[in-house]
Amino acid sequence: MEPRIDKVDFEARRKASLTLREHVLKVLEDIEGLRPPKLLIPKRTLSNTIYDPEKGILVLGEEVFERNLLDMGEARRFMQTLLMASIIYQALVENEYPTIRDLYYRGKHTITFRDLKGSIKEENTWDEQVESDSALRDLEVMTGLLREHMLILSKEKGKVVGDMRIKSGGDVIDLSRLGHGAYAIESTPDLIEFLDYNAEYVLVVEKDAVFQQLHRIGFWRQYKCILVTGAGQPDRATRRFVRRLNEELGLPVYVITDSDPYGWNIYSVFKVGSITLSYESERLATPKARFLGVSMTDIFGDKNKKPYLTEEERRNFIIKAKERDLKRAKELMNYSWFQTNKWKKEINMFLEKKVKLEIEALAGKGLKFLAFQYIPQKIQTGDWID
Amino acid sequence: MEPRIDKVDFEARRKASLTLREHVLKVLEDIEGLRPPKLLIPKRTLSNTIYDPEKGILVLGEEVFERNLLDMGEARRFMQTLLMASIIYQALVENEYPTIRDLYYRGKHTITFRDLKGSIKEENTWDEQVESDSALRDLEVMTGLLREHMLILSKEKGKVVGDMRIKSGGDVIDLSRLGHGAYAIESTPDLIEFLDYNAEYVLVVEKDAVFQQLHRIGFWRQYKCILVTGAGQPDRATRRFVRRLNEELGLPVYVITDSDPYGWNIYSVFKVGSITLSYESERLATPKARFLGVSMTDIFGDKNKKPYLTEEERRNFIIKAKERDLKRAKELMNYSWFQTNKWKKEINMFLEKKVKLEIEALAGKGLKFLAFQYIPQKIQTGDWID
């Protein structure tokens, strides 16, 4: 029995395989025209990674390089790029869903050839996954197809609940009827179709356990929100899913993390993208995402605001920042999207107080406090950082 | 608005809070009878951790120790145990769902007291989570209530799909209608009610990505199985869920992991329990779980069996074992449940060949090979290790 193929899945395969084909056909044309075959690949270097203030995300710049088959130093990587294209093409037309680890295994073999002097030599297509991963990234930027478009799976970590119906793989899933559990967001979130929903915003919670608590206490039901967690550093699928909720449904997105540079960085990855993989941001980042908290002024208050914690709670809950937290905070200060007044204040307050706070401390103060006071009050009074 | 409370949840809270109350009342009786208050706690030491060959799981032995309030060396831990009981009791009656991190925060404060000489001293209830975690474990063995019974949440990693309906938190969830996604197994799997199912066995897949692939290719639909992943080292909820599928529905359980000591250990945790937390095994372990593969004879074959990999595939796919893999294998050999003929052969073959193999290598050979040939053939021919 062949697997059930639904229309959305089929269409995704058709599109991706056609695009791959087009790119490879250009190489064939070069060969038939007796021109040295080459690939034109946008540079994935840091110097070609640019923050686009208009879009509010990280993007790849204009720099492109040529990879030539006839250049001895590039021939191997030329071969790797085309090998990756052919493995993925085959998986697409055969209705497979490889992972990046599979792609590595599928391509891994030894090529036997004669060198210029006629002796037999051996060369591995690739030895480590870092090489096949790099070939995949080259292919992504070259074709403009992200791995999700090519139906390549990665580990799933994200979860969602809320008053919303979606369609995936031919099934209608009611995200409001999942009991104490949740829907594990699939690796290919573009195959999800949004049906109907009754929600006013999206709340992204850094920590899985806090997500579970808010879910059980009925937070999303009472405050009409779609509740999402990336369970720590979010995977691509969670980021894409959140982006789609924001872009296609126009729902505002609030992110809640620990009050420390690690939490800020998670927010930053949702909002502007990942620095080392900026080419994904165009589809994965949610530039309008707002940092709801926990903020330093929530802990200590400021001239316009009473702190959410008492003196005693602060003594019990706050944790001393480590040297690497302070270092990370100073790094974040250099990023242009952290150079707003509110962020400067936040980071400076952290550097001055040298303490951090986990969301769990607020749940420790009382889950009802977190769910029915802290979060709704912050949203209602517009107390977030953009 | 108060959260929706369903009957199963309410009943769990009632039972757990009554049990906690009973244990604490005994302490009160001691005090009222002018007897030195004490707690009787089963020892959680390695020497009191026993493999019960009849049950096929690790259990705590008979050794018990007394924790006395009036013993200076034990007073602090006595207080911690009762503090933990009171925090959990409060959470139970207030319909909260704390995590172990919350419990730590809720109990963390400073006690001011006068010492024998009359000077004022301060003492923290606990400083690090390792102390509150230990108090929780003492409470678990003392009361016989696992944390799940006390509605304490932990991070969720497990996922399930299959032709089965379950009920959780008042919702009916159809595990066969989840599209490309899956149901994230809740932290309190005893609150799940099994409704109806159409399945002949349970397949537990170590790796999340392989789970996704088998799901997408329609494996569970074709072979009538409940497909589960623990995404690496399984959490308690996944183990409990699998155990319930085995025990209550009588479904055989097959576990498929990488072919290396790390994979064997994951199987071992599902089957007999975790060595350091043996008191959980009574409820979490599935002693009848079978190790389906990937086995060394799948890779190399033996006198009765053709290998599943060709010479060339072996060359491309197998990975050299590291020193720590060999060391781990030798440790596993000492465990009594690995001292069957089949396991000895497996481990010896590993120590001799000094190589390992990931499941992804089989998916790399072809997802269809893995799903429609390797797994069903192994099950059909009884080619597993018990």
Contact A169/B at CB under 8 A: yes
With an 8 Å Cβ cutoff, are A317 and B108 in contact? yes
pLDDT of res. B347? 96
Give the whole-angstrom CA distance, residue B190 versus residue B110: 36
Per-residue pLDDT at B3? 52
* CB-based contact, A126 to chain B, within 8 Å: no
Mutate to test the interface with B, among A127, A176, A216 (most CBs of B within 10 A): A216
Chain A residue whose CA is closest to B126: A316
Residue A1: pLDDT over 50: no
Chain A residue numbers with beta carbons less than 8 Å from the beta carbon of B206 are none
pLDDT value at residue B282: 87
Mark B266-296 as b/e (b = at least 16 C-beta within 10 Å): bbbbbbbbbeebbbbbbbbbbbebbbbbbbb
| Residue A354 banded pLDDT, cuts 50, 70, 90 | very high
Percent of chain B past pLDDT 70, that is, above it, reads 99
Distance CA B9, CA B96 (A): 11
Interface contact A218-B3, CB threshold 8 A: yes
Q: Read off the amino acid at residue B29.
A: E
Going along chain B from its start, the domains and CATH numbers come out as 7-143 (1.10.10.10), 159-380 (3.40.1360.10)
Contact A234/B at CB under 8 A: no
Place of tokens 């992972």: A99
3-state SS record for B284-309: HCCCCCEEEECCHHHHHCECCECCCC
Give catalytic status of residue B105 as yes or no.
yes
Q: State whether A186 and B168 contact (CB < 8 Å).
A: no
Whether the CB-CB separation of B79 and B93 falls below 8 Å is answered with no
The separation between the first and the last C-alpha atoms of chain B, rounded to the nearest angstrom, is 51
Mean pLDDT of A121-143: 94
Which residue in the block uniquely carries the two structure tokens 């936040």? A346
Q: Give the mean pLDDT of A235-261.
A: 97
Q: Does residue B294 have a cis bond before it (omega within 30 degrees)?
A: yes
Q: Where are the alpha helices (DSSP H) in chain A?
A: 7-32, 75-93, 100-107, 129-143, 208-216, 219-222, 236-249, 261-271, 281-284, 296-300, 311-317, 323-333, 341-353, 359-365, 367-369, 375-380
CA distance A315 to chain B (A): 8
Cα–Cα distances (Å) from B292 to A78, A292, A346, A386, B272, in that order, read 40, 47, 53, 51, 16
- Per the CB < 8 A criterion, the answer to whether B317 and B307 are in contact is no
pLDDT at residue B300, as a whole number:
96
Does A3 sit within 8 Å of B217, measured CB to CB? yes
Q: What is the pTM of this model?
A: 0.90
Residue A366 has what pLDDT? 86
Percent of chain B, pLDDT > 90? 79
Q: What is the mean pLDDT of residues A300-308?
A: 93
CA nearest neighbour of B269 among B320, B332, B211, B188: B332
**CA B347 distance to own-chain centroid:** 24
Please give the average per-residue pLDDT across B187-199, as a whole number: 95
ipTM value for the complex: 0.87
Provide, as residue numbers in chain B, all residues whose Cβ is less than 8 Å from the Cβ of A170: 179
Above 70 in pLDDT, residue B2? no
Q: Do B184 and A180 touch (CB under 8 A)?
A: no
pLDDT at B1: 45
Sign of CA dihedral B169, B172, B175, B180: negative
> Which member of A51, A89, A104, A105 is catalytic?
A105
For an interface test with B, give the residue of A180, A228, A294 to mutate (most B CBs within 10 A). A180
> What pLDDT is recorded for position A185?
95
Q: Do B157 and B231 form a contact (C-beta atoms < 8 A)?
A: yes
CA distance B218 to B376: 13
Q: Is A297 on the interface with B (CB under 8 A)?
A: no
Q: Nearest residue of A to residue B109 by CA position?
A: A316
Quote the pLDDT of residue B286: 96
Q: Is the pLDDT of residue A4 over 70?
A: no
Residue B274: pLDDT band (50, 70, 90) is confident
Mean pLDDT of A225-252: 96
Predicted confidence band of residue B345 (pLDDT cuts 50, 70, 90)? very high
Task: Find tokens 């000077």 and name the residue.
Answer: B119
Q: Which of A4, A108, A218 sits opposite B218 (nearest CB)?
A: A4
Predicted confidence band of residue A72 (pLDDT cuts 50, 70, 90): confident
Q: How many angstroms separate the CA atoms of B314 and B300, rounded? A: 8
CA atoms of B23 and B43, how far apart (whole Å):
17
Q: To the nearest whole number, what is the mean pLDDT of chain B?
A: 93
The structure tokens listed for A206 are 């850094």
Q: CA of A64 to nearest chain B CA: how many angstroms apart? A: 32
Nearest by CB to residue B367, choosing from A97, A217, A315, is A97
Classified as helix, coil or strand, B170 is coil
**How far apart, in Å, are the Cα atoms of A91 and each of A21, A67, A156, A171, B204?**
13, 25, 20, 23, 25
> Is the pLDDT assigned to residue A38 strictly greater than 80?
yes
| Minimal-distance CA residue of chain A relative to B359 | A102
- And the tokens for B331? 């440790």
Mean pLDDT of A106-125: 90
Q: What angle do CA A256, A259, A264 make, to 5 degrees?
A: 70
**Residue B363, pLDDT score:** 84
- In terms of C-beta density within 10 A (0-12 exposed, 13-18 middle, 19 or more buried), how is residue A278 classed? buried
Instruction: Say how far apart CA B18 and CA A206 lie, in whole Å.
Output: 34
Which residues from chain B sit within 8 angstroms of residue A187, using beta carbons?
180, 212
pLDDT classification of A45: cutoffs 50, 70, 90: confident
Task: Please give the backbone phi and psi of residue B302, each rounded to the nearest 5 degrees, phi first.
Answer: -150, -165
Contact of A163 with chain B, judged by CB distance below 8 Å, is answered with no
Whether the pLDDT of residue A227 is over 90: the answer is yes
Give the pLDDT confidence of B217-252 residue by residue, as tens digits: 999 999 999 999 999 899 999 999 999 999 999 999
Q: Is the pLDDT of residue A6 over 80?
A: no
Across the interface, whether the CB atoms of A166 and B180 are under 8 A apart is answered no
Instruction: Please name the amino acid found at residue A321.
Output: A
Residues in chain B within 8 Å Cβ distance of A368: 94, 96
Query: What pLDDT shows up at residue B280?
Result: 87
Amino acid type, B157: K
Residue A294, preceding peptide bond in cis (omega within 30° of 0): yes
Residues in chain B closer than 8 A to A179 (CB atoms): 166-171, 173, 186, 191-192
Residue A24, pLDDT score: 93
Out of B173, B180, B216, the one facing A178 most closely (by C-beta) is B173
Which residues have a Cβ under 8 Å from the Cβ of A139 and sit 6 or more positions away?
A81, A84, A85, A88, A145
Q: Average of pLDDT values for A338-354?
A: 95
- A216 interfacial to chain B (CB closer than 8 Å): yes
**pLDDT attached to residue B116:** 87
Displacement of CA A198 from its chain's centroid (Å) = 25
Using the Cβ of A61 and the Cβ atoms of chain B, whether some distance falls under 8 Å is answered with no
Instruction: Classify each residue of B150-177 as buried b or exposed e, where b means 16 or more C-beta atoms within 10 Å of its C-beta.
Output: bbbbbbbbbbbbbbbbbbbbebebbbbb
Chain A CB contacts of B13 under 8 Å are: none
The arithmetic mean of pLDDT across residues B181-193, rounded, is 93
Residue B5 pLDDT level (bands cut at 50, 70, 90):
low
Q: Residue B8: is its pLDDT beyond 90? A: no
β-strand pairing of A120-124 with A110-114:
antiparallel
Q: How far is Cα B329 from Cα B350, in angstroms, rounded to an integer?
A: 8
Tokens of B172: 């009916």
d(CA B112, CA B11): 38
User: Which amino acid makes up residue B239?
Assistant: R
Partner A contacted by B320 (CB < 8 A): no
What residues pair up with A131 in beta bridges, in sequence order? none
Residue of A nearest to B160 (CA): A184
- What's the pLDDT band for B275 if we cut at 50, 70, 90? confident
Residues from chain A that touch B221, judged by Cβ atoms under 8 A, are 4
Residue entry with tokens 């992943």 = B229
Asked whether residue A2 carries a pLDDT value surpassing 90, the answer given is no
Give A254's strand partners. A203, A290
Query: Which of B180, B313, B373 to mutate to test binding with chain A, by most A CBs within 10 Å of its CB?
Result: B180
Please give the DSSP secondary-structure letter assigned to residue B370.
Answer: I
